[in-house]
Chains A and B, each alone.
Chain A
């Protein structure tokens, strides 16, 4: 499993885990679980559409992720944010279904778009993945303090001159970028588990924000590495392992928090 041609898989998976840990920390903190699920689904539609007109799927991925982020943020301001997120989500999925109906798409390709294909990453894709990953992490770093303040005490943040709505939009755009880069590796649907389980578990083990983010990354790496190893051994989809290991880690975190409350 550590042969030459698997190296790119390990490399790209590590980058994905890093980004998931960093971005996921704020996904959990800000309670944007639903948008974080909806945006990758938008990505899927974009890839299908790009395929239909014969251009690079990554472009479709990017454009539709961004569109989903903007739609959710823009429409969500006026109405009920979670209902709107659901509507944007199904609109994207329906578009994806429409695109697919007009092509003779081979099933494995759809499958890997959604669930990830552990051997699907070529070495030429590493560089763009790394660049986008770096962009995401830098963006979160730059937005760190405003993100913290608007997440915890939005009223005070507004009094200090920040615009919570703008920060929210900026963050969703980062999520869209994070989504775009991870689809080739873990698939559209499972990047989401990585952004939820490990960061949520990290919170249970520490109350210090910096440490919580670090732990979030560490857990994410743990999940991704063990998922790839397991997928390699069993030939089962890597997404299956990511989903279940993330959930398991979350459960462990909850257990630990409960134990702490009971016995300290």
Chain B
């Protein structure tokens, strides 16, 4: 056990906080992520992370609470996307891209002003990449509360959300208010990624949103299975990533470990690739037995 877990891991306070916060982020992200991918809103999910980060830079600049900045920024961005957005995926992604571009530009301005008006350094690094090991403990309670709120919201609209994600026409036929459900979902998505962005940084926010969910959807046949698998994978990869990051400070010669985001993303990405192996095997087997569908245009 000693060679896997470097000494001091379990007794380290920041590590324990990181594990708790990471697991919580992973759970919320995993649930929202499954729906995000089903609704082909992966771009919106990622874009909202960046928009939330813009809010964070702004909060930094104006001395507001980071929670307000991240979550508030995310909500504004989600509102804008919903207002511009249309049904067709291409138009939606276009709207997302425009909002993202504007938000990124704003972020550039905030960071520039941060650098020139305040004396804190490392602002760019911190806001963009965050660090799960340096989480402000005062954020924990509001974070848990908001996460619970998000999960309750999704639980409440679960069935209408599922139906309208799979077929908006069918949903409308059953008098489900598709537009309202879409708005509620994207707001929940914004809050979710905003929260994870504060504590884990924007990279991990997107990774935890998409990675475990994509892997789970590859492996599972139904939605319930996908949700459970997604949450499980999310928690495992987060904890494993934290462990590896902690260990890495002992491995790397500079004495400064590799960022935890790197490890969690790496594990997530590899997990996704590995999950593709069974399907690959099926294709290879199928090609030799039957005439496998070739070409085509997808």
Task: Note whether A and B contact each other (Cβ less than 8 A).
Answer: yes
Interchain CB contact under 8 A, B207 and A90: yes
Interchain CB contact under 8 A, B210 and A31: no
Least CB distance from A229 to B in Å reads 16
Tell me the residues in window 76-105 of chain B with beta carbons closer than 8 Å to chain A beta carbons.
84, 89-90, 93-94, 96-105
Is A101 positioned at the interface, with any CB of B under 8 Å from its CB? yes
Query: Which of A37, A101, A107 meets B124, CB within 8 Å?
Result: A107
Chain A positions within 8 Å of B217 at CB level: 80, 83
Interchain CB contact under 8 A, B101 and A97: no
Is B194 positioned at the interface, with any CB of A under 8 Å from its CB? no
Interchain CB contact under 8 A, A86 and B111: no
Tell me the residues in window 234-262 of chain A with beta carbons closer than 8 Å to chain B beta carbons.
236-237, 239-244, 246-247, 250, 254
Closest to B97 in A: A33
Is A197 positioned at the interface, with any CB of B under 8 Å from its CB? yes
Chain B positions within 8 Å of A34 at CB level: 42-43, 46, 93, 97
Given A94-B207, A100-B125, A158 and B297 touching (CB < 8 A)? yes
The CA-CA distance from A36 to B98 in the complex, in Å, is: 12
Stretch at the interface among A5-13, A56-64, A188-196, A208-216: A188-196
Tell me the residues in window 197-223 of chain B with beta carbons closer than 8 Å to chain A beta carbons.
203-204, 206-207, 209-211, 213-214, 217-218
Interchain CB contact under 8 A, B214 and A97: no
Q: How large is the interface on B (under 10, 10 to 19, 20 to 34, 35 or more residues)?
A: 35 or more
The CA-CA distance from A237 to B206 in the complex, in Å, is: 26
Is B237 positioned at the interface, with any CB of A under 8 Å from its CB? no
Closest to B109 in A: A240
Interchain CB contact under 8 A, A86 and B210: yes
Interchain CB contact under 8 A, B103 and A97: no
Interchain CB contact under 8 A, A98 and B262: yes
Max chain A C-beta neighbours (<10 A), residue from B42, B217, B295 = B42
Stretch at the interface among B5-13, B19-27, B251-259: B251-259
**How would residues 100 to 136 of chain B score, 1 for a CB under 8 Å from any chain A CB and 0 otherwise?**
1111111011011001000001111100010000000
Closest to A239 in B: B108
The CA-CA distance from A37 to B74 in the complex, in Å, is: 18
Interchain CB contact under 8 A, B207 and A244: no
The CA-CA distance from A189 to B43 in the complex, in Å, is: 15
Interchain CB contact under 8 A, B121 and A31: no
Is B155 positioned at the interface, with any CB of A under 8 Å from its CB? no
Chain A positions within 8 Å of B97 at CB level: 33-34, 36-37, 192, 196
Interchain CB contact under 8 A, A87 and B98: no
Least CB distance from A172 to B in Å reads 15
Given A84-B214, A93-B203, A243 and B102 touching (CB < 8 A)? yes
Query: Which of B42, B204, B269, B296 meets A85, CB within 8 Å?
Result: B42
Interchain CB contact under 8 A, A101 and B256: yes
**How would residues 86 to 124 of chain A score, 1 for a CB under 8 Å from any chain B CB and 0 otherwise?**
110111011101101110000100110011000000000
Interchain CB contact under 8 A, A237 and B272: no
Given A87-B211, A89-B46, A101-B259, A94 and B101 touching (CB < 8 A)? no
Max chain A C-beta neighbours (<10 A), residue from B102, B105, B115 = B105
Is B261 positioned at the interface, with any CB of A under 8 Å from its CB? yes
Is B171 positioned at the interface, with any CB of A under 8 Å from its CB? no
Interchain CB contact under 8 A, A91 and B214: no
Given A78-B279, A82-B42, A87-B269, A94 and B261 touching (CB < 8 A)? yes
Is B37 positioned at the interface, with any CB of A under 8 Å from its CB? yes
Chain B positions within 8 Å of A36 at CB level: 97
A interface residues (Cβ-Cβ under 8 A, vs B): 28, 31, 33-34, 36-37, 75, 77-80, 82-87, 89-91, 93-95, 97-98, 100-102, 107, 110-111, 114-115, 154-155, 157-158, 163-164, 187, 189-190, 192-193, 196-197, 200, 236-237, 239-244, 246-247, 250, 254
**Which 10 pairs, one residue from A and one from B, show the smallest C-beta to C-beta distance?**
A243-B105, A193-B101, A31-B90, A94-B265, A247-B102, A33-B97, A158-B297, A82-B42, A240-B109, A98-B262
B interface residues (Cβ-Cβ under 8 A, vs A): 37, 40, 42-43, 45-47, 84, 89-90, 93-94, 96-106, 108-109, 111-112, 115, 121-125, 129, 203-204, 206-207, 209-211, 213-214, 217-218, 252, 254, 256-259, 261-262, 264-266, 268-269, 272-273, 276, 279-280, 295-298
13 A/B residue pairs, CB under 8 Å, sorted by A:
A31-B89, A77-B298, A82-B43, A83-B214, A89-B206, A90-B204, A94-B262, A102-B252, A102-B254, A158-B296, A237-B112, A241-B105, A243-B108
